[in-house]
Amino acid sequence: MALNLGFVDSIVFDANGLVPVIAQQFDSGEVLMMAWMNRAALEATLADGQVRYWSRSRKQLWRKGERSGQFQRLVELRVDCDGDTLLLRVDQTGAACHTGQRSCFFRGFLDGDWHTLSEPISDPEALYGDDR
Amino acid sequence: MALNLGFVDSIVFDANGLVPVIAQQFDSGEVLMMAWMNRAALEATLADGQVRYWSRSRKQLWRKGERSGQFQRLVELRVDCDGDTLLLRVDQTGAACHTGQRSCFFRGFLDGDWHTLSEPISDPEALYGDDR
């Protein structure tokens, strides 16, 4: 690929080679999820605009939506003042959350406990089958 | 205080007792910053609505704005599907960033390098003096 990725050197990855990433729907401003990238995930994302993350539990790269079809297309990449957190402004297809909700942040604290603020927009079983 | 904080037990703190926290301006949707909380920071925040974080470098609680006067008032607390990331919808006084910018995410990637997308709204020296 022809991309000059030298700018990635200015990003501060942690001791595990990861950087926290916030995904935000570019037009509505909704915060969809928080996940992690390593350098390879970021470079692959920049190469074709399809967002990849690093799964800390599975220890592998994953393309957001590869199983569910609920992809994220990168619209704009931002970095914070310290260079150690990324903000991805994305266009999210369908549900960002494996629960079927649009955003992973669908629970809010009210009157001493968590409450569900928004219902699923997709059936998680239809998205993932039994193999969630 | 009279708050029932048993719900905090459902939050998944990491091996260092911390949870990543995204601060978002409640009305505009702007993502302001990412920082960390321990249990004490969250409980203190909930007690009076003034947002506290845990400084990993200084290893102490800090009240956002305690030196700069650029406070964050908690409007709504959300948690993600896995219980391991918090989203704080806040009302930010002035600049969230120590650089004087409204948001810490003021640099965007364009044509192979980072570019400043928004200028400071306050003079950092006026906010912090020499002791930044």
CB-CB under 8 Å, A78 with B108: yes
**Residue of chain A nearest B7, judged by CA positions:** A113
Chain segment B93-111, per-residue pLDDT in tens:
999 999 999 999 999 998 8
Which pLDDT score, from 0 to 100, does residue B86 have? Answer: 98
Closest residue in A to B99 (Cα–Cα): A81
Run of H or E including A7: none
> Do residues A62 and A50 lie in contact, with contact meaning Cβ atoms separated by under 8 Å?
no
CB contact under 8 A, A79 and B107: yes
User: What is the Cα–Cα distance from A42 to B42, expressed in whole angstroms?
Assistant: 31
Candidate from A20, A28, A34 with C-beta closest to B80: A34
Burial class for A132, CB neighbours closer than 10 Å (0-12, 13-18, 19+): exposed
Of A31, A105, A40, residue with least CA distance to A72: A31
Mean pLDDT to the nearest integer, A68-73: 94
At B5-49, the pLDDT tens digits run 778 888 999 999 999 999 999 999 999 999 999 999 999 999 999
> Would the CB atoms of B104 and A77 count as touching at under 8 Å?
no
- The residue written with tokens 């959350």 in the block is A97
Element (H, E) at A16: none
Question: What pLDDT is attached to residue A5?
Answer: 73
Helices of type H across B13-53: 39-48
E strand intervals along chain B: 19-25, 31-37, 52-55, 60-63, 72-79, 86-92, 107-110, 113-116
**CA dihedral angle for residue A30, residue B98, residue B114, residue B20, rounded to 10 degrees:** -50
What digits encode the pLDDT tens for the residues B42-82?
999 999 999 999 999 999 999 999 989 999 999 999 999 99
pLDDT of residue A86: 98
Q: What's the confidence (pLDDT) of residue A7?
A: 82
> Phi first, then psi: what are they for A59, rounded to 5°?
55, 50
Interface residues from chain B to A (CB-CB < 8 Å)? 3-4, 7, 10, 20, 22, 24, 28-31, 33-34, 46, 76-82, 85, 87, 97-99, 101, 104-109, 112-114, 117
- Nearest chain A residue to B8 by CA distance is A113
Rounded to an integer, what distance in angstroms lies between the CA atom of residue B101 and that of residue B121? 6
Going from the C-alpha of B16 to that of each of A9, B13, B59, the distances in angstroms are 27, 7, 11
Q: Does residue B93 contact residue B65 with C-beta atoms inside 8 Å?
A: yes
DSSP strand pairing (B19-25 vs B31-37): antiparallel
Distances B2 to A11, B9, B10, B48 between C-alpha atoms, Å? 43, 17, 19, 11
Stated as kind and residue range, the H or E segment containing A60 is strand A60-63
Its pTM stands at: 0.94
Percentage of chain A modeled with pLDDT above 90: 80
Cα separation, A103 vs A13, whole angstroms: 25
Q: Strand, helix or coil at A53? A: strand
